[in-house]
Structure 1
C-alpha cells in the first residue's frame, strides 16, 4: 500500500535525491554531493538551481549554521533545519511522551502527559490536546509520528498492542481527524531504527543492526541502507531466541530466552524471587557494581547472554555496526567486560572486530524516532508499507 502525504512538492526524482542527501549528510560541498550521487558538475548544477531558488537548499559558510547568503558556488549546501518542525509521540501503558524536532530530528521541546485510560478515542483526545499545546509554540508543525509497542498495519492501524490492550484501532485516522495534520503510526522499535538509520548511529552504513533492551527485547536490521521489514518485527523476537535452555524462568514460564535473561522485568523478577525484595533495575545494577552476590550473579548472567546474542547476530548478519539501545543498556556500564569477553569467545579468532555502540535511550528518544517517521513522509511524499 502506498499513501500520498504532504511532501516536498513538486520535486523531480533527481532533485529529491539531492535534497535527501543534503538533509541526511549535509552540509555538503557541491564536489562531495556530485561524488556521492555520481553526477557530473553540470547535472548537479541543473538539479540544485531550482532547490536553491525555492529556498529548500541554501548556501552556508563552511561549518556554519544554515542561513540564506550570497556567495561563491563553492560554498556548502544545506537545508534550513528549523524551517519546519515535527511532532513525535511514544505511547506507553501509562504515559505519553512527546517531542518536537527540527527537520534534522534535533529535539527542541518535550511534553509528557500521564495516560489514565486506554480507550482509543480518549487517547486520541490526549494526543490532540498535546498537539494543540505544542502548535501554539511551534506554528511550523508539519506532521505527527506515533510509536507504539505492537503490531501496526499500513502505518495507520494498531492491529494489536498488548501494552494498550488494543486490537484494530485506526489511530492515525483518529488523530488526523482531531489535529488536521498528517499522521503516521509505526511499531516503536521500527521507528527507532529509522531514526538511527537517517540521523544517528547507522547513518551512511550499508549493514546495521539495532538491538534494544528494556521492557522487552527489540531487533531491527538495515541492509543496503534501508530497514528490512518483516512480518515478525512487531513481535518480541527475544521470547523465541533461546540463549541458555537451562537459564532462568520468566513469570510466564519461559526458560533461557533473550527476554528471560535480559529484559528489565525478568531481571527484577529473578531478584524478587530469590530475595523477596522488589528492587528497581537501577538498584540492582548498583548492587551488582558494589559486589552484592545475588545481584552480581543475575547481572553477570545477563551480560553473558547479551554477549552471546550480539555474537550470534554478528556471525550471521556481518553488520558494520550494532547499536545497543534502550533503558536496559546500563548493563554495559556494570558488566561490559563480561559482554565483551563473551562476544569474543563466540566469534572466530580472526573475525574483524565488531563496532558496538551503546546508547542509553529514554522514552524521548523513542518519541524522536516517531518524529523521524513524519519527516520521512514529508521528504519522500509517500507512506510505504
Structure 2
C-alpha cells in the first residue's frame, strides 16, 4: 500500500482486542466478553467505556428480553454498528471483474460485474475505479477501503508479483487503484482472501485449526493455526500440480500424471471427457451425465471423487484441523459423488480416527470478492495491511 489506511480511532491494544472480538463474534454480553478475553469485570468496564462513548460499540437489546427492560442497562449485550462503514471487494479473473459492497461484518449489500476486455494494468485499474463508483452510488455509509483478490503471487499485499491468468509480473495494483479512487487498497491472492473471510466471519470463526480447500479452475489450500492464516511462499505456485494421488491417473495439459490438478480441476475434467468422446461439455453437463450413469463421465467423476477423498484424508491426517471447508466452483462434485468421497476418506484414515468435520460451500465469484472486502475490513480494524 502506498499510504496508511484509515483505521478505527487510536485504540490501546486492550481496546482493540475488545472491539475486534465484538466485531467478529458479537453481539456479546459483558460476561461472555470478559470470559473470552480473560478479563475481570472492572478491566472490561474500563476498556469498553471509551468504545461506547465514541460510538464504536453500542448496547443492543437482548434477544427475547421484555420491552420494559430494553433501556440501556449495563447488562445489555455489546455490538458494532455494522452499516457504519462500507467496503468494496473485487475478484479479478482473466475475463471478468466481480465486485461487491459489504458492511463492516462483510454482509454483501450490492454487486456489480464488468467484462475484462484488456489485461493492461492501467486500464484494469481504471475499470476497478469505475466499478467502485458504481457500487457505492446511493449508499450512505462511508467507504473505508478496497480489497482485491487475484489468482497469483502477491507481495506485501500490494504488488502482483506474478499472475498467469492476467499475464502480469510486478504490477503495483494497490497503488494504481488507490491513485484513481483515493481509498486505501489491499491486494492479496484470492484463496488467501477467501481463507481470511471464512476465518473471521464464516466457517472457521472461533476455530484454532481450520483448513480451506478449493476446487475449480485450480486447487487452492489455506491453513489456519491458532486462529490465524499461515502464509507461505509457494502460494498460488500450483498447489496440487505435483501432489500425486494416483500414479496411473490421467495426464492432462496441467499437472503431473495422476496429480490432484489432473484429476480434480474443472479444466482437467473437461479435457478428459473431450479427449475420450470428442465432445465438449460444460462441467455442469458432465456432472449431470455422470449422475445419469453415462459411462465415461461417470468414470471421470468417480476418479475425481476418489482423488478428493484422498486429499481430504491426507490433509486431516497431517494438519489435524477441527474443520475442513470445501469451497469453489467445482464442489458440485459432492452432489454427485459424495459417497465415494466419504468412503475414500474413511479408507485412508485410522478406524478409530475422529470423523472429519467436512463442510461444503458452493462459492460463486461474489464470495471470492467478499473475501477481498474482508481484507479491507482487516486493514481498518487492525490498522495495518498485515492481518
- 1:126 maps to 2:130: no
Contiguous gaps of at least 5 residues in structure 1: none
Aligned positions, number? 381
Contact (CA 8 Å) 1:2, 1:384: kept in 2 or not?
A: no
Taking structure 2 as the reference length, the TM-score comes to 0.96
Matching residue of 1:32: 32
Q: Distance in 2 between matches of 1:357 and 1:194?
A: 16
From 189, 201, 206, give the equivalent of 2:191.
Answer: 189
Matching residue of 1:210: 212
**How far does the alpha carbon of each residue in 1:268-294 deviate from its partner, in whole angstroms, 9 at most, with x for none?**
000000000100000000001111111
Q: Distance in 1 between matches of 2:117 and 2:293?
A: 39
- 1:367 maps to 2:369: yes
Matching residue of 1:111: 112
Matching residue of 1:310: 312
Q: Distance in 1 between matches of 2:266 and 2:132?
A: 31
Q: CA deviation at 1:254?
A: 2.5
**How far does the alpha carbon of each residue in 1:75-134 deviate from its partner, in whole angstroms, 9 at most, with x for none?**
100001000110000000000000001000000110000000000000000000111122
**How far does the alpha carbon of each residue in 1:216-265 deviate from its partner, in whole angstroms, 9 at most, with x for none?**
00000000000001101132211011101110011257310100000000
- 1:16 maps to 2:16: yes
Contact (CA 8 Å) 2:331, 2:360: kept in 1 or not?
A: yes
Q: CA deviation at 1:10?
A: 1.1
Q: Distance in 2 between matches of 1:346 and 1:84?
A: 47
Q: CA deviation at 1:169?
A: 0.3
Q: Distance in 2 between matches of 1:258 and 1:18?
A: 42
Within-5 A mapping of 1:289-328? 289-328=291-330
**How far does the alpha carbon of each residue in 1:194-225 deviate from its partner, in whole angstroms, 9 at most, with x for none?**
00000000000000000000000000000000
Contact (CA 8 Å) 1:59, 1:70: kept in 2 or not?
A: no
Taking a change above 3 Å as real, the CA distance of residues 281 and 275 of structure 1, as seen in their structure-2 partners, is same
Q: Distance in 2 between matches of 1:323 and 1:207?
A: 12
Matching residue of 1:100: 101
Q: CA deviation at 1:63?
A: 3.2
Matching residue of 1:59: 59
Q: Distance in 1 between matches of 2:78 and 2:104?
A: 15
**How far does the alpha carbon of each residue in 1:168-201 deviate from its partner, in whole angstroms, 9 at most, with x for none?**
0000000000000000000000000000000000
Matching residue of 2:87: 86
Q: CA deviation at 1:137?
A: 2.1
Supply the RMSD in Å over aligned alpha carbons.
Answer: 1.4
Give the match's secondary structure for 2:240: helix
Taking a change above 3 Å as real, the CA distance of residues 252 and 60 of structure 1, as seen in their structure-2 partners, is closer
Q: CA deviation at 1:62?
A: 1.4
Within-5 A mapping of 1:95-244? 95-139=96-140, 140-244=142-246
Contact (CA 8 Å) 2:254, 2:261: kept in 1 or not?
A: no
Q: Distance in 2 between matches of 1:325 and 1:207?
A: 17
Give the match's secondary structure for 2:76: coil
**How far does the alpha carbon of each residue in 1:116-173 deviate from its partner, in whole angstroms, 9 at most, with x for none?**
0000000000000111122222242110000000100010000000000000000000
Give the match's secondary structure for 1:382: coil
Contact (CA 8 Å) 1:152, 1:234: kept in 2 or not?
A: no
Q: CA deviation at 1:5?
A: 2.0
Q: CA deviation at 1:70?
A: 4.5
Contact (CA 8 Å) 1:250, 1:269: kept in 2 or not?
A: yes
Contact (CA 8 Å) 1:2, 1:382: kept in 2 or not?
A: no
Contact (CA 8 Å) 1:98, 1:367: kept in 2 or not?
A: yes
